Structure formats: C-alpha cells, structure tokens
Structure 1
C-alpha cells in the first residue's frame, strides 16, 4: 500500500509539473523575440470603383528629397504599387496621383516579471556502472526528483527596450489634392532597426489594398 501511495503521489507531482511548465511556457512566449513582424494596419479610403489612370509620382518634403534612408523606403513602396498595377509617371505624362509617406520609431523601457519553475532538489548523479539487469525496474525514493517535494515557482524579472515603429502612406489626386487612400501601419518589437522591419511594414500596408474602410486588422509576416 505504501508503494502504491508513493507512485500515486509521484505521478500527481509529474502532472502538476507538466501543467506548470506549459503555463509558464505560454507566458514566456509573449516576451521572447520572434522571427515575425506583426503590424496593426488601418486604412481609410474613398477609392473610385474604376480608376483608369493609375499613374503616380512621389511628393517629397525638402528633407526627404536628400535623404537616402527615405529613398530606400520609397523604393519599397514603389515595388508594391507596381505590383498592384500602378505606373510611375514619366516627364511626358502628367501623373494622376501623388504618393506621400512618413515614418517614425519610438522606444520605451519595459519591466516584465514572469514565473519560472525551479527544482530545488536536483536528483543525485548516479554512476552508469551501477545500472544492471537487476537494477531495472527498481524504485527508490532517494532517486526520485519529486520525493523531496514539489518544484518551486520563482518570480524572475527582465528589463528590455520595446520599439514602436509607424509608417503612414497617403495617396491623393494631383489635380485637387483630394485624398483617396490613407493607411497607418504600427508595429512593436525589440528590433530597433527600422531598416530591417520596414520591408514587412510596407508589405503589410498593401496586403489587402484598398481593404475595408476604417477597420483595423493585424498582418503577420515571417522575416526572411
């Protein structure tokens, strides 16, 4: 009866540990760095049902006109527009649309407290030469990591910086300046390199063009 009780208590502790580990793992996954970029995308538009002329030109501010970083992001937007059937206007053909884009990045300090399962009584190291046919199937509480009590859940603290990246793209008519499409992409993560994340933010901006008017949606893209 005592042996049965030992095994029953031991199995219960194992089930408890498995459940605790799964719960802690779920919490830790929210704070770990991932290989994806998640973006919150919101678009407002009054897009014409049929727009025959999709020629466009980028309208830049004075600072953007001589900014190499901006030019790189502009090329990303250009590639997406061309994929959607837009054409960049030439000097001989006046554009129908003008494209304006802006971006920013902010950082804040984050303090995160999360539980960690710790075994305060690690099992003793056994000599492999002790093992033998007669030892197999032998049970001793002195070699049971759960014999001395359940594992302890400790609170750990982690401090890191969280970056908020934002991209805004506006498409308007050249003739009267009327806005036809305006989208904002917001992404958060520990990666402080805007250049590394921007390609995925631009793709997210046009993932469902023109999309539902004023309805935020989340886009998740795997980083290459």
Structure 2
C-alpha cells in the first residue's frame, strides 16, 4: 500500500517530534500490520529459516534470524533442520533515511533586568522570556526501520502468516532497532487477518537493545506453551 504525499509528510513530522522529545521517551512505538490464514489448534510449530542462494553467508541476516528465533520460541516455535520443518520463515528488512525540517520558536523577554530577573535563578523564563520572537528552521535526520516476517507451509508453499513492523526515529542503526521490531511483529501471535495496530515496548535505557539475543535450547513441543512477548503493550 502506498502512502500519499500528505500522509508521508505527517509521518515524518511525527517522527521528527519523536526525535525532539527523545530525551524523555520511555517507549519505542511500532506500527504492525498482519495478514493471517493461521489455523487454530496447531501443536507442531517446527520451522526453519529460508534464504535466497546469495544470502547463505549473510552475517547480518544471521543476526536478525537469531533475534526473530528468540521471539518465535516464546510462541512454542522450535527451530529444526529444513527437511523436518513444518514451516519456512523468511525475513525482509531495511532502513531508510529522511530529513525533516521543523520550525522552532526563538523566545525573548519583554521585561529587561532588573525588573524580571533577567537570567537570575528565580526567573522561570531564563534570559529569553516566555514570548516567541520568531521561528528558526531546524533540520533533523529521521530513520525508518522495517521488518517483515513471512511464514509458509513447507509442504504446500501456502502462506499462512505475513506480518510487517515499522517504526521511525533518530536511531540510525537497524541492528539496534531490530529487537524492538521483532518483538512488536510477533507480539500476541497470531493476529487476525488484516489487523493494523500500534505496539509500545519500554525503551532499554541501559546499554541498549542487544544485537544478538540467545535462542533457548529446544524443548519438546508438549513442554512449551505460548507466552506473550515480554514488555510489549498493544493499542488496537
């Protein structure tokens, strides 16, 4: 689906505001779109990642597969050899950069010292005052991150689940954004067909999201139960 010019501008402006407020941001907000033909009561969730021939030695893709595999494991998926897998999982991903220009106000103080405390500690407005004297255009880089997860039946080639996660902000690294994308894409799996929603995940304020998430050791399907993605909040 193509976004029109005004919708795209609005999305970029919102992302720019996110950058401006990044100092107090506590959540990573991701838009998720899912298409599903998933049948209920499926106890055999074995899968293998599928790759194009030119991707066999792609270290970046290997890193993203590990992150996605960790999220799939929370929903009782178990990674096996492709010959024994019931499902094949394919990933698509990317990052795009834009520059957004925002008009920011420049303030002045109409009450000069000493009557209004010009720059004194008790002056609530500081040396600039509460009134905008004009506006200055400031440009900010915006990065849009994308992850697509496609699940097909190995035996028939039938697509049973296709989900896309997208977010924007000042993060210039796709690998640092990937854990949030993967967790958002697979939160509350499986979603209904044609579901579009927003997922909010608490921002890791420490060292940041890990580039590689360890995959739990495989366990018998009967011993594994689906669990919701940790820390994810969804707003329909």
- Higher CA-based Rg: 1
1:160 is aligned to 2:140: yes
Mapping of 1:13-32 within 5 angstroms?
31-32=20-21
Q: Is the 8 A contact 1:38 1:220 kept in 2?
A: yes
- 2:98 aligned partner: 108
TM-score if structure 2 supplies the norm length? 0.68
The number of aligned residues is 177
Does the 8 A contact of 2:19 with 2:169 survive in 1? no
User: Which shifted more, 185-194 or 111-120?
Assistant: 111-120
The within-5 A match list for 1:164-179 is 164-179=144-159
- Which residue of structure 1 aligns with residue 228 of structure 2? none
Aligned-partner Cα distance in 1 for 2:180–2:34: 16
Q: 1:170 to 1:155 in 2, by over 3 A?
A: same
Assess if the C-alpha contact under 8 Å between 1:28 and 1:114 holds in 2: no
Q: 2:166 aligns with which of 186, 191, 197?
A: 186
- Root-mean-square deviation (Å): 2.4
User: Which of the pair is proportionally richer in helix?
Assistant: 1
Of 37, 43, 46 in structure 1, the residue corresponding to residue 34 of structure 2 is 43
Give 1:118 shift. Answer: 2.9
- List alignment gaps of at least 5 residues for structure 2: 1-15, 124-128, 205-236
Alpha-carbon offset, residue 69 of structure 1: 1.2
The whole-number CA distance in structure 1 between the counterparts of 2:70 and 2:43 is 20
Change (3 A) 1:81 1:29: closer
Aligned to 2:214: none
The 5 Å alignment of 1:26-105 reads: 31-33=20-22, 34-90=25-81, 94-105=84-95
Unaligned runs of 5+ in 1: 1-26, 125-141
Question: Would the aligned equivalents of 2:91 and 2:147 in 1 still touch at CA under 8 Å?
Answer: yes
TM-score (normalizing by structure 1): 0.71
Query: Are the equivalent residues in 2 in contact too, given 1:37–1:197 (CA < 8 A)?
Result: no
